A and B are shown apart, each in its own frame.
Chain A
Amino acid sequence: MSVMEQDSAGAPARASLLNDPKVRGLFYQVLLIAALVFFGYFIVTNTIANLERQNIASGWGFLENTAGFGIIQSMVPYSETSSYGTALVVGLFNTILVAVVGIFFATIIGFVVGIARLSNNWVISRIAYCYVELVRNVPLLLQIFFWYFAVLRAVPGKREKWSLFDTVHLNIGGLRLPKPIWEPGSFMIGIALVVAIVASIVISKWAHKRQDATGQQFPMFWTAVGLIIGLPLLAYLVMGMPMHLEHPVFVDTGPRIRQGFELNVGINIIPEFLALTAALAIYTAAFIAEIVRAGIQAVSHGQTEAAHALGLRNGPTLRLVVIPQAMRVIIPPLTSQYLNLTKNSSLAVAIAFPDLVSVGGTVLNQTGQAIEIIGIWMAVYLSLSLLTSAFMNWYNQRMALVER
């Protein structure tokens, strides 16, 4: 100790500055940043120079030009006369729709299969095991093709249909459902729904408090179901039934080309969407199942035994004791799976679902604005990923073990 102190104190000031780890560290970091900035500058100027040399127009003006092509599914108003910008928005919403629906189903299937893998029932756990091994070892694109092409051939052709209660119909053109048409006064149904949800939350808080105080349980689940279904139904009846269903129209007479379902009547969920979400949900669910299994197994078996000792049955033990603790282990890798699903949705282009990549590709080809379009793609997927992970991190913090 004393020898080292003497050395550094005895050295001349100039040498100590050069050898000072702090100064050196700072110097190299500044150097690295400068090199990175220069590299970025070089890439950008070089790209601009090359674009100019090849006479490729750049800029964002093309977004306002007329697109001129059709899109099979759009959640915002879109026609061939809309702009490229609108087309890209259509693609963005379609991507988000697939991601949200896919994540929803992947989570449900994943949790069910993950829990089933740990079942004491040999058949159930084997089935879950086979599902996981089969699905996660087959490439996703292949599975998308399977759901689209193999399953598509099994359903009836355009001029025939399978019907359920004469309201839900399926054929190769998609899944047809009745479409609710809202009339004046129907806004009350929406208000009733919001009131029901708020009331359920308030009652659940009250029920928790009461249980903490008195130990009495309240049938929360059925109350909430009753409220959420009952209140809007009441509003619907009181307002004089301001809503009717528009049923899909199936024509089976006249020239053959005219037979089949009429376009734009009722709701049509196109097969491209069905195949893509099915493939994404089932594929991602296999990974989620393994995450759930790992999470549950990470919870000490003593917790289960303790719960059983308290007299809890298997169901409540899993729901109230094991899963809440397992969630801490499950959430971080689950976030990765959600991000994967969102990014994998770009495979949509292979089966004609108009997601952002598919629509963007068409715009790219019509305008030649490769750099701008790829920039939009990168920005959108980055934002979607950051949003998902921000939400999951927030949720993770909420689920984290609270230490008192």
Chain B
Amino acid sequence: MSKKILPLVIGAAMGVAATTAAGATTLEDVKAKGFIQCGVSQGLPGFSNPDAQGNWTGLDVDLCRAMAAAVFGDASAVKYTPLSAKERFTALQSGEVDVLSRNTTWTMSRDTQLGLNFAGVNYYDGQGFMVRKDLGVTSALELSGASVCTNTGTTTELNVADYFRANNMPYEIVAFEKADEVVAAYDAGRCDVYTTDASGLYAQRLKLTNPGDHMVLPEIISKEPLGPVVRQGDDEWFNIAKWTLNAMLNAEELGVTSENVDEMKSSDNPSIKRLLGVEGAFGEAIGLSNDWAYNIVKNVGNYEESFNANVGPDTPLGISRGVNALWNDGGFMYAPPVR
């Protein structure tokens, strides 16, 4: 009997090795479990934030919902994993989440060295500074000797170091792991300055005791293209993430909204026909059904609808489209055509 143990142990180990090595594609995995596991922030109003009932909403959340709509025809087939800046890439690399949609800056090293692929940009941002109005500061160049609160493990931490060094200003960095603690410390007066992406500053300002006492300085010291990220090496899933974002942008450009999408199906415009799956088989080409983009717009809406509902001028954040307008409207948003 004892002779049978060793082959058994080896056999079992080999079996484990075989199953881990083979692996299924992300799309197969997602279809098998019936939902998309989406990595989001730990709470950034307008981008990804849970409401009182625990439902996640925001611009980044809408991208996850749009992907779920594209895959399942059901925008609610998403489960959310709140991740700190420090945890996010490891969670994606290790397969804990299928897509990371968490105000993550697209940089060269992240794109090339971490085994990740950035699927596009859903918000063009830049790093800014927030200070108390009563400090009497009007420019970031007057911040010499200031103490600066921020998050650990972000590009923010590097940009602020570069900026103060380049301008020969001494400073003191206080870096917290969670955004909520940064807000609390800044609110308590531990720091003169709160720095993060400008969108984040507007969002976090809402959490301060007296939002009106604080102002965002005009300097934007970095380029922060934020967008969804997937694992490298799975082109099928990469395409789905990329074209979900492109579909939302194209829908806005073509004037297709969640309200008129059913009428638009009978439109004569060939671009709209291709987008909504009336003509061609573009959905099948990325492993989905042909009405993938119809489902996205019907369930979630186009980019403009998502922007206005979450961060736009009528929301507490009150962010104008600015550079995030479509290309033909003076902004950077430009999606390749569906054809």
> What residues of chain A have their CB less than 8 Å away from a CB belonging to chain B?
27-28, 31, 34-35, 38-39, 42, 46, 49-51, 53-57, 68-72, 80, 148-149, 152-153, 157-158, 172-173, 255-258, 262-264, 271-272, 349-352, 354, 358, 361-362, 364-368, 370
Contacts and interface: CB of A to CB of B under 8 A. Distances in A.
A101 B229 CA distance: 43
Interface string B132-148: 00111100001111110
6 contacts: A42-B13, A172-B188, A173-B190, A350-B178, A351-B181, A365-B85
Contacts of A71: 173
B52 interface: no
Most buried by A among B2, B146, B147, B149: B147
Nearest to B145: A263
B93 A370 contact: yes
Contact of B6 (A34, A272, A367): A34
B153 A352 contact: no
Contacts of B178: 350
Contacts of B160: 70
B27 interface: no
B115 A72 contact: no
A72 B161 CA distance: 12
Contact of B142 (A70, A257, A351): A257
B110 to A, nearest CB: 8
Contact of A57 (B113, B136, B174): B113
B175 A352 contact: yes
A34 B8 CA distance: 13
B158 interface: yes
A257 B2 contact: no
B113 A56 contact: yes
Nearest to B23: A53
Given A349-B152, A361-B152, A364-B153, A46 B17 contact: yes
A257 B174 contact: no
Given A56-B115, A370-B90, A362 B175 contact: yes
B174 A352 contact: yes
Contacts of A50: 20
Given A56-B113, A153-B188, A365-B85, A352 B170 contact: no
Nearest to A154: B188
A13 B171 CA distance: 82
Where chain A touches its partner, the secondary structure class is helix
Contacts of A27: 2
A257 B185 contact: no
A67 B63 CA distance: 33
Contacts, number: 153
A28 B20 CA distance: 29
* Shortest 3 CB-CB contacts between residues of A and residues of B: A365-B153, A54-B115, A70-B173
B188 A349 contact: no
Nearest to A261: B145
A27 B190 CA distance: 64
Most buried by B among A39, A258, A362: A362
B24 interface: no
Contacts of B142: 255, 257
Contacts of B232: 54-55
Nearest to B232: A55
B262 to A, nearest CB: 42
Contact of B233 (A55, A152, A257): A55
A4 to B, nearest CB: 24
A21 B21 CA distance: 41
Nearest to B152: A362
Most buried by A among B172, B173, B175: B175
A219 B173 CA distance: 50
Contacts of B108: none
Given A68-B162, A272-B174, A366-B158, A257 B135 contact: yes
A34 B134 CA distance: 70
B161 to A, nearest CB: 5
B173 A69 contact: yes
Interface string B17-40: 100110000000000000000000
Contacts of B114: 56, 368
